Each structure stands twice: as C-alpha cells, then as structure tokens.
C-alpha cells in the first residue's frame, strides 16, 4: 500500500479536515455546518447575518469549529428578537468550538443554549438578549473570554448536575442578574471574571445554589431589590478566594447574603463591610478605569499566597495571572510596577535601591518572611542550626547582615559599619 494511502487510512481527520467559508462556499451558515465533517472549520466572513439558517444554528453533535473570520466586532448574528444564535445539544465534545461572534437580539432561552454537551465557547459577545444570555444546562461547558451584556434576563445561567468553567468573562448590565448557578451534583467555577452593574430581586451579581468556586473575580456595583446585591449564597459548598465584592447594594445585605445553610468559605478577599476569613480585608480597592487596580490598591499582591495559576492562565485582560510573585485580589492583575533601582519605592516594591544587605535585587526586603514590608519580630529565621544561639526574635545572635546565618559576611558587614580607624 502506498505510504500516503496508509496515512490517509490511519489519520483521515488530519488529512480531510477543511475550511468551509460563508458565503464563499455556502450562502448561509447552517448549510456550512451541515456539510462539515469532524475536525472541519466553518469560517464566517464579516457582516451582519440575519434570517433563517443564520440563527438557531445547530452543531448537530459534531466536533467542529465554527468561528468568525475577524472577531466579534465584525461578525454579527442578529436574531431580530426571535430565536437564538446557537443551539449545542447533541453530546458535542470539548473540541466543538464556537469562537468570535456577536449575537444580538435573541429571544428564546439563551442566545447560546447548551444542553447535554461539553463545548468550548470563547471570544463571543452576547448583547441585548430578550431572554437568558448564555444557558448551559446539564453540560460541561467552558465559557471563556466572552462578554454578556445588556440582557433582559440573567447573563449566564448554569443548571444541572454537571460542571462548567466560566473564565475571563465580562458579565455586565443584565436585568435578571449577572450569573445564576443552580447545581445539583455538579461543581462550577467562576474565575477571573468581572460581574458589574447587573440587577435582580436576589443576588444581583451572582446567585449560587450549589457547589461553586469563585476565584479571583471582581463583583461590583450590582443591585438586588431584596437581598444580596453582590452575592446570594445558598449551599454548604461555596468557596470564594481572592475576590473583590464592592459597591453592591440591596435592602438586606448589600454585598453577601446567605439565604440558607452555612456561610461561604471566603479567604484572601476584599469584602466591603468585612467578612470573617483568613486574609480577608475591607479596604477601598482604589479602582481606576474599567475596574483596573490603581497604583496604591490594597488588592495588589494580597491574594492567596498559596495560589498556583493553571498553565497559561491569565487575568481578565490577558496578562499573566501572577505578575509580582503573589496573585492580586480580583479579576485584574496589576502590571504597571515601577522600575526596581530607580531610587523610588513604587507599587510592588518594599525598598529601593537594592543594597544587598537589607534590600534584594527585586526591591523587596531581605528576610521579610511575612511580606509586610517591615523587618520585625515576626520575621524569624526558620533555618537556623540548633547549635547557634538565637535572640528573642528567633534570629541568630551576631547575624549582622540579616541573612539568618552567622558567617564571614557578618564580619564584613561589621567592618563596614565603622567610619574611622579602630583605636
């Protein structure tokens, strides 16, 4: 058998995958999807797409990619108040990908409606929906880098026993709430998202009924007419880490309202009005434009010190999730740090310039174990040999250069402290 024929037999999806263009190859989008085989890519040219077969688009169970050519700004599906943009409901796998569309004026239970499937939805804008923005039901969806805004109902609604990941999304200005998570045996994660300016009777920003992790999010300026302007919680399995909940309003409990069950487990978060939990603060986050962190924000380098980002994980803007050695609180990672060595102590620095004795090459205090910017009795040396005597702070006696050891460098530091000849 010729080598190419054997390769074709063994790897047909690699050889046969093709790009199908709309309107070049097919006049309407659904015809291109219907013609696509596993692994094919449907590419939709720029324009405003309306009418039958350009909405209510069905992946038909196939692992294909349907994407715009140049992003959501230039490729718009206008549902004209009736129907939805996409319907993914026949056990599509994770490599069924929807990428880069704006969907306007949808009318039926989700501009994007996912049921019994696990697709990847990314880089999409859902705007001015007359019903739910994105509805994931009994699915394992990944919704990433999307914007859901200005809808007449909840922005993103997740329901069922499966698990979903919502990350790097902006959910803003929806009437009916920002995110509604109603979970049975499933577990969903909301990560590095901005939930802002939404409204509902309860849980204006995020309403959680089931096992959920909220991590490094910014939940701000949402409104509830009854309880929980920021978050409504009703589950024993809610974990919130590194999240800022601020400026939300409601007649009862502006920022967090526990409807039933034990309160959420909240750590290393900035909660207006305060909240018990390790590392939590109650300080003005000092936002600047579009809820980014200002230079002096207390949220900078204040997130969970044990946080380890996922591979290639980013913040809401696409910047690395950890920039200065410790993750920030909220969806935005502060990146505008000063230049170490310019003689000015700026955001992200504890000292400047580096001197090799108390200030290291990253402009942080040497041996500042607790990271509070001050060398004090809390910064003990954990690696001091038992044979070396220590003082009341736990530091070795004679440790002149504060490196938690007594050696020749301490003698050099002692010599350097004299300004004149010894007598």
Tens-place pLDDT, residues 29-49:
999 999 999 999 999 999 999
Confidence at residue 417, expressed as pLDDT on a 0 to 100 scale: 55
**Alpha-carbon distance 184 to 299, whole Å?**
33
**Alpha-carbon distance 389 to 147, whole Å?**
60
Q: Above pLDDT 70, what percent of the chain?
A: 87
Q: Is residue 260's pLDDT more than 80?
A: yes
Q: Indicate whether this model's pTM tops 0.85.
A: no
**Alpha-carbon distance 392 to 108, whole Å?**
69
**Cβ of 286: how many Cβ atoms within 10 Å?**
13
List, for residues 183-196, the tens digit of each pLDDT value. Answer: 878 899 999 999 99
DSSP bridge partners of 57: 86
**Alpha-carbon distance 344 to 354, whole Å?**
11
Mean pLDDT of 350-374: 80
Confidence at residue 400, expressed as pLDDT on a 0 to 100 scale: 72
**Alpha-carbon distance 91 to 118, whole Å?**
7
Return the DSSP state at 395: P
The gap from C-alpha 402 to its chain's centroid, in whole angstroms, comes to 39
Confidence at residue 383, expressed as pLDDT on a 0 to 100 scale: 56
- Are the C-beta atoms of residues 223 and 195 closer than 8 Å to each other? no
Q: Is residue 13's pLDDT more than 60?
A: no
Place 258 in a pLDDT band, splitting at 50, 70 and 90: very high
Place 16 in a pLDDT band, splitting at 50, 70 and 90: confident
Return the DSSP state at 324: S
List, for residues 261-304, the tens digit of each pLDDT value. Answer: 899 999 999 999 999 999 999 999 999 999 999 989 999 999 99
List, for residues 44-91, the tens digit of each pLDDT value. Answer: 999 999 999 999 999 999 999 999 999 999 999 999 999 999 999 999
**Alpha-carbon distance 13 to 215, whole Å?**
38
CA angle (322 as vertex; 317, 325 as ends), nearest 5: 150
**Alpha-carbon distance 288 to 196, whole Å?**
14
Phi-psi region of 289 (alpha: psi -120 to 50; beta: other; left: phi over 0): beta
Three-state DSSP state, 176: coil
**Alpha-carbon distance 186 to 231, whole Å?**
19
- Are the C-beta atoms of residues 334 and 296 closer than 8 Å to each other? no
Mean pLDDT of 151-170: 95
Confidence at residue 340, expressed as pLDDT on a 0 to 100 scale: 79
Place 138 in a pLDDT band, splitting at 50, 70 and 90: very high
Q: Ranked by mean pLDDT, which of 11-15, 160-164, 223-227 comes out on top?
A: 223-227
Three-state DSSP state, 107: coil
Confidence at residue 384, expressed as pLDDT on a 0 to 100 scale: 55
Is 41 exposed, middle or buried (CB count within 10 Å of its CB: 0-12, 13-18, 19+)?
A: middle
**Cβ of 331: how many Cβ atoms within 10 Å?**
30
Q: Is residue 409's pLDDT more than 80?
A: no
Confidence at residue 1, expressed as pLDDT on a 0 to 100 scale: 46
Instruction: At 155, list the tokens.
Output: 């922005």
**Alpha-carbon distance 163 to 142, whole Å?**
9
Q: Give percent helix, percent strand, percent coil of the chain, each to the nearest 5.
A: 10, 30, 65
Is 38 exposed, middle or buried (CB count within 10 Å of its CB: 0-12, 13-18, 19+)?
A: middle
Q: Is residue 198's pLDDT more than 50?
A: yes
């Amino acid at each position: 058998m010729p080598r190419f024929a054997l390769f074709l037999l063994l790897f047909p999806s690699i050889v046969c995958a093709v790009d199908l263009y709309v309107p070049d190859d097919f006049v309407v989008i659904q015809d291109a999807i219907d013609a696509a085989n596993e692994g094919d890519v449907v590419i939709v040219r720029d324009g405003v797409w309306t009418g039958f077969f350009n909405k209510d688009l069905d992946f038909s169970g196939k692992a294909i990619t349907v994407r715009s050519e140049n992003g959501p700004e230039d490729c718009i599906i206008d549902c004209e108040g009736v129907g939805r943009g996409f319907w993914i409901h026949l056990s599509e796998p994770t490599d069924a990908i929807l990428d880069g569309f704006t969907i306007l004026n949808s009318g039926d239970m989700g501009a994007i409606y996912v049921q019994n499937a696990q697709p990847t939805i990314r880089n999409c804008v859902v705007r001015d929906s007359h019903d739910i923005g994105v509805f994931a039901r009994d699915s394992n969806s990944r919704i990433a880098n999307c914007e859901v805004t200005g809808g007449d109902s909840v922005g993103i609604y997740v329901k069922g026993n499966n698990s979903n990941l919502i990350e790097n999304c902006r959910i803003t200005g929806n009437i009916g709430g920002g995110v509604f998570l109603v979970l049975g045996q499933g577990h969903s994660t909301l990560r590095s998202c901005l939930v802002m300016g939404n409204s509902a009777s309860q849980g204006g920003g995020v309403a959680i009924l089931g096992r959920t992790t909220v991590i490094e999010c910014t939940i701000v300026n949402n409104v509830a007419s009854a309880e929980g302007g920021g978050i409504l919680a009703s589950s024993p399995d809610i974990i919130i880490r590194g999240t800022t909940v601020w400026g939300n309003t409601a007649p009862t409990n502006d920022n967090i309202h526990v409807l039933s069950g034990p309160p959420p487990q909240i750590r290393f978060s900035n909660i207006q009005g305060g909240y018990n939990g390790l590392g939590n603060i109650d300080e003005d986050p000092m936002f600047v434009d579009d809820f980014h962190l200002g230079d002096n924000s207390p949220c900078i380098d204040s997130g969970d010190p044990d946080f380890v980002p996922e591979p290639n994980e980013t913040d809401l803007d696409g910047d690395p999730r950890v920039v200065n050695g410790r993750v920030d609180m909220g969806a935005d990672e502060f990146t505008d740090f000063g230049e170490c060595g310019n003689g000015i102590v700026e955001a992200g620095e504890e000292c400047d310039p580096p001197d090799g004795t108390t200030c290291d090459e990253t402009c942080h205090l040497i041996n500042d174990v607790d990271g509070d910017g001050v060398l004090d009795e809390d910064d003990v040396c954990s690696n001091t040999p038992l044979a070396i005597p220590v003082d009341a702070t736990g530091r070795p006696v004679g440790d002149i250069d504060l490196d938690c050891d007594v050696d020749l460098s301490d003698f050099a530091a002692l010599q350097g402290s004299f300004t004149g000849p010894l007598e």
